[in-house]
Amino acid sequence: MFKILEKTQYSENVYKFRVHAPQMAKHAHAGQFLMVRANETGERVPFTFADWNAEEGWIEFIFMVIGKTTTDLSQLNAGDEIADVVGPLGKPTEMDNGSWCVIGGGVGLAIAYPVARALCAQGAKVRVIMGARTKDLLLLEDQFRELPLENLYITTDDGSYGEKGVVTQPLERLCIDHEIEHVFAVGPVPMMKFSALTCAKYDMPIIASLNPIMVDGTGMCGCCRVEVDGKTKFACVDGPDFDATKVNWADLSARQASYRAEEATAMEHRRETCACQS
């Protein structure tokens, strides 16, 4: 069992947990993830390390409530215990020094933040593009603003905050102005796909952190398989970062949607059986 040391609520649906996990804290790197099982009967779901402290023996992850497991987790509090936390898993993000554009869309901002922070810490020049459907879904703006960034760009689909439109607009300007040398993108599949297409136009290298459904997180089940450059890869052990210009996005999209009916049923069942469900 893993004790929750702190719970922070960022917005209606977004939380950060600090969890006692001394061994994991010693080995975590930016871009890696952990598998969490909220309770004895729960499924395992992946979250990216948001922060960790080897001396104090804790790790942190940030999550958005979107279904059953994240709802279960959101109802735990500091002092409660999580049944399982396993990690670090996956390969760390490869980070050259130089000039980077880090793009996060929606809940992907929780994954983009530790990457941007690690790049800043190693002395890279970092520009961040934050994208969301609407202002209320924009995560971690204050935390990004505390980083020593070259610039921060915000886009919202509905124009409720920042530039009206999508992340590829500032990305394309940065490519045209030769202000960046590398791009890291994480978020919804269409956002990563169109960021890859934009970068391909300008021969700009782009890494995407892929988010297929994962079950074991250790390369055993095959659930997280993705097609990259015509070859099958397992995102949990070969990734989650891949060359975004070589990813088969249609395949990833289809695989992500494989369990929509079961996910809806699980939420419905939870509503009917759990008195604590808000």
Ligand X SMILES: Cc1cc2nc3c(=O)[nH]c(=O)nc-3n(C[C@H](O)[C@H](O)[C@H](O)COP(=O)(O)OP(=O)(O)OC[C@H]3O[C@@H](n4cnc5c(N)ncnc54)[C@H](O)[C@@H]3O)c2cc1C
- Sole window of 153-161, 169-177, 194-202, 208-216 interacting with ligand X (rule: CB under 6 A): 208-216
**Residue 111: contacted member of ligand FES, ligand X, none (CB under 5 to 8 Å, by partner type):** ligand X
Residue 73: phi and psi, rounded to 5, are -60, -40
**Residue 63: contacted member of ligand FES, ligand X, none (CB under 5 to 8 Å, by partner type):** ligand X
Asked if 224 interacts with ligand FES (CB under 6 A), we say yes
Beta strand 33-37 pairing with 81-82: unpaired
Q: Report the residue number, 155 or 211, with the smaller CB distance to ligand X.
A: 211
Asked if 93 interacts with ligand X (CB under 6 A), we say no
Asked if 159 interacts with ligand FES (CB under 6 A), we say no
**Residue 69: contacted member of ligand FES, ligand X, none (CB under 5 to 8 Å, by partner type):** ligand X
Q: Read off the tokens for 218.
A: 């250790």
Q: With the C-alpha atoms ordered 221, 65, 17, 149, is the resulting torsion angle positive or negative? A: positive
Q: What span, in angstroms and rounded, lies between the C-alpha atoms of 63 and 54?
A: 22
Asked if 66 interacts with ligand X (CB under 6 A), we say yes
Contacting residue, 24, 214, 226, 247, with ligand FES by CB under 6 A: 214
Asked if 163 interacts with ligand FES (CB under 6 A), we say no
Asked if 45 interacts with ligand X (CB under 6 A), we say yes
Q: What span, in angstroms and rounded, lies between the C-alpha atoms of 35 and 174?
A: 35
Asked if 259 interacts with ligand FES (CB under 6 A), we say no
Q: What span, in angstroms and rounded, lies between the C-alpha atoms of 31 and 14?
A: 19
Asked if 220 interacts with ligand FES (CB under 6 A), we say yes
**Does 240 sit behind a cis peptide bond, omega within 30 degrees of 0 on the bond before it?**
yes
Q: What span, in angstroms and rounded, lies between the C-alpha atoms of 263 and 84?
A: 21
Asked if 61 interacts with ligand X (CB under 6 A), we say yes
Contacting residue, 65, 223, 266, 267, with ligand FES by CB under 6 A: 223
Closest approach of Cβ 110 to ligand X, in Å? Answer: 4
* Residue numbers at the binding site for ligand X (CB under 6 A): 33, 45-48, 61-64, 66-70, 107, 110-111, 211-214, 240, 256, 263
* Residue numbers at the binding site for ligand FES (CB under 6 A): 214-217, 219-224, 234, 236
